[in-house]
Structure 1
């Protein structure tokens, strides 16, 4: 059984902002009311076999998403080889008008041994109305050129939350020495 919880928030002027609906099941599982959006995936360097790259995954949490963002799971879905990451170098930040803003604290970054999925849990949940970018650092870019596809799933904050798959995007690695012009 679903039940809706109305969350009222106050603005800095003391006037109550419109309520946001959140979905919570009777067992305590929390869902987003509306889906966050995967905006883009970019890399600082797209040359094969290069060290020092960062892959950026940018998500938007609409104001009416209903819950704070607690965790992002990133999974390589396709590519000629499995890319390995330096989990301890994971970073995250808020974006404002496409510019890097405040850094976000990451509580932990883990990788599932069977699926390879990387879970990035935020130290403090991210509020609706925020654009968030997560940066993963590979040990090196893949040896083989081509498109490598990554899927992204977002989870609301809380002990028991249901994730929403946001979709996938690709990074194309080449043999040249191209630098991604959308570098962060």
Structure 2
């Protein structure tokens, strides 16, 4: 099998082509001159949902569904989920984080997670996949808050996807929007 490599403006595109007219699946990865990898086509944030939308409720799960397109060129290694809006700094039980192929309503096989960490000051959760999720898959990550926020309103979570590799460039893929409602009957 021959390997074709093209470099244009410091960007390397690599693909495999078969011999004798038989072509293998071509996956193109974008690598900059400095060695940084990028997705050829970034993943999509498909959905963000919660199991309970009332304030101060225990036992909720926040689901973020990501589609990694066939043309991504690189597997998905890490998600960064940053709370951008909302009146309360949500705390998580990171040990209870989970992931699976498919969507919340159409679950597939369990997906192994690597390290899941949090920076409380920046209200950011880092979810690592071990192994990375290959192109052509849809994966859903479930984060378990200690409890839902105290304050009602819209909470926005910016989601950034990183391809596999030591030196990878994250691409912002959208905002997950969760709305929490007060239990007050006033």
Q: Does 1:54 align with 2:52?
A: no
Higher mean displacement: 125-134 or 167-176 = 167-176
Q: 2:36 aligns with which of 8, 29, 49?
A: 29
Aligned residues: 172
Task: Structure 1: give runs of 5+ residues left out of the alignment.
Answer: 10-14, 178-184
Secondary structure class of the residue paired with 1:20: coil
Task: Please show how residues 77-96 of structure 1 align to structure 2 within 5 Å.
Answer: 77-95=84-102
TM-score, normalised to structure 1's length?
0.87
TM-score, normalised to structure 2's length?
0.86
Secondary structure class of the residue paired with 1:57: strand
CA distance in 1, matches of 2:164, 2:111: 15
CA distance in 1, matches of 2:61, 2:17: 38
Q: Deviations over 1:55-102 (max 9, x none)?
A: 000010111111100001100000011111111111111006951111
Task: Structure 2: give runs of 5+ residues left out of the alignment.
Answer: 1-9
Task: Please show how residues 1-184 of structure 1 align to structure 2 within 5 Å.
Answer: 1-7=10-16, 16-95=23-102, 98-176=105-183
Deviation at 1:107, TM superposition (A): 0.9
Q: Which stretches of structure 1, 4 residues or longer, exceed 2 Å deviation after superposition?
A: 15-18
CA distance in 2, matches of 1:8, 1:43: 44
* Larger-gyration structure (1/2): 2
